[in-house]
Amino acid sequence: MRNLIFILGDQLSPDISSLDGADPALDGILICEVLEEASYVRHHKRKIAFIFSAMRHFGRELEAKGFHVRYVRLDDPGNSGSFTGELLRAVQILDPERVRVTEAGEWRVMQMIDSWSSRSGLAVDVLADHRFLCSHAEFRAWAASRPELRMEFFYRDMRRKTGLLMRGAEPEGRRWNYDLENRKLASSDLFQPRHLHVEPDEITREVLDLVEVRFAGHIGSLKNFGFAVTRADAEAAARLFIAEFLPDFGVKQDAMVSADPFLNHSLLSFYINIGFLDPLDVCRAAERAYHEGRAPLNSVEGFIRQIIGWREYMRGVYWLRMPDLATANFLQATRPLPQFYWTGKTDMNCLAIAIGDTIRHAYAHHIQRLMVTGNFALIAGIDPREVHQWYLEVYADAYEWVEMPNVIGMSQFADGGFLGSKPYAASGSYIAHMSDYCTDCRYNPKKKTGPGACPFNVLYWDFIGRNEDKLKTVPRLEPVLAAWQRMPAERQAEYRENARVFLEALS
């Protein structure tokens, strides 16, 4: 065998760089389900089932192209339980001349890959991941040229690089960003189209049975599992989004509706992050919809920004800042993650709904993550490492390279503002404005302190008060800090005492 090509579980693309020039007559493939990857954190059952089923289907796809695929299932006899162990077993059995692998998305896995040559005695070719627009070297050079990093300017460079929504040197519509038009309210709609639901086939049913037994104690349920687990079905999900959901994506993207957890969100991050969909192809399909008059500019720009802006930017920041990013704790938050993050059982209706959606679907949209579960953790002073681990475990689209900078940097401000220009802290009024969650809540978002006051209100001002010295370095918080400082001492003390009582009860 010439090359043993190791395909990781989030590299399920026939265009992955490790397969460039691969010859079924000369090269073999290794794909493996290993316990170490499924359990280094306690991943949601749906996440494990989705990834394992997608891997098995992709292995079949490669076999259909004539490749010899050594596919190691989780319950196969002799499974070593780790990527390195399975590589060494495969090398001993198949006797390849070299190993080829596309660079891992996560720091932890790259540390393993870096040891493979010495462990196996073979040359290991580690190839760049061309699914991303911006290489590690390009991002480092971009970051080094700026006194501070801001996603908006990176995003504009990615627009120029790809030509997406550009007219020569100018952005389409002469504006780079239509975010202000994308903050409208939404309500439950009986005529809202439904996202793709794929009935499990025989392969998926086998995986569901395996996960139910082997990961019984993990969060979530496998009832009504409907993820696309093949490239063809993922492409169908993308076509459905462009046709049915993209037109109103913009105006609904920040809204939260208790009866509809998905609204017009694409639900494509699962399939982009695992390799089924090419992110640039998806963006070009959205751009075509705009040019053909099938979707408005604000929706298309907002969608494209999430992919070539935030997604690429988060990856760049992750590799720029690791491994220190993992332990960042600028605000010195140490409170344990509350138990209700695992059950959804809380009287705070917004958290009960957002966490309930997460438990049921292994998904919640970005505003639920940032402004409900993330916002609460931030203003309550939860340890950012515990918050990061929870997000990594519970969401089926969460891989450390995209999740950690989103949580540690953007959501929890634990990097001290390296990634974002301010903490995403908000009182109950934001949630009341952008959702229908407060209608059936025992707490009143208009009440600031005392019995029945929304906990987000007291925690918000307690957050400002206890972090006043650290937050003085954040220019965008100057008006908030000034308001806190003008507040009578008695009012400040009332907020702080209400917060203390609430947090003690929470513990």
Average pLDDT over residues 42-64: 98
Which helix (H) or strand (E) segment holds residue 340: the answer is helix 340-343
The pLDDT of residue 178 is above 80: yes
CA–CA separation, 244 and 233 (whole Å): 16
Model's pTM, two decimal places?
A: 0.95
Domains along the sequence of the chain with CATH: 3-127 (3.40.50.620), 136-200+231-312 (1.25.40.80), 340-506 (1.10.579.10)
Query: Which residues contact residue 343 at a Cβ distance below 8 angstroms, ignoring those fewer than 6 apart?
Result: 355, 359
Helix locations, 9-167, DSSP H: 35-39, 45-64, 83-94, 107-113, 116-120, 136-144, 151-162
- CB crowding 237-269: b at 16 or more within 10 Å, else e: bbebbbeebbbbbbbbbbbbbbebbbbbbbbbb
Give the per-residue pLDDT at 190.
61
Neighbours of 14 (CB within 10 A): 12
479, two tokens? 């008006």
Q: Mean of the per-residue pLDDT values for the chain?
A: 95
Backbone angles phi, psi at 406, to 5 degrees: -60, -40
Query: Which residues contact residue 444 at a Cβ distance below 8 angstroms, ignoring those fewer than 6 apart?
Result: 438, 452, 453, 454
CA–CA separation, 481 and 231 (whole Å): 50
Query: Which residues contact residue 198 at a Cβ distance below 8 angstroms, ignoring those fewer than 6 apart?
Result: 226, 227, 228, 229, 233
For 181-240, write each residue's pLDDT tens digit. 777 776 767 668 899 999 999 999 999 999 999 999 999 999 999 999 999 999 999 999
Give the per-residue pLDDT at 11.
98
Average pLDDT over residues 57-76: 98
- CB crowding 453-471: b at 16 or more within 10 Å, else e: bbbbbbbbbbbbbbbeeeb
CB-CB contact of 460 with 376 (8 Å):
no
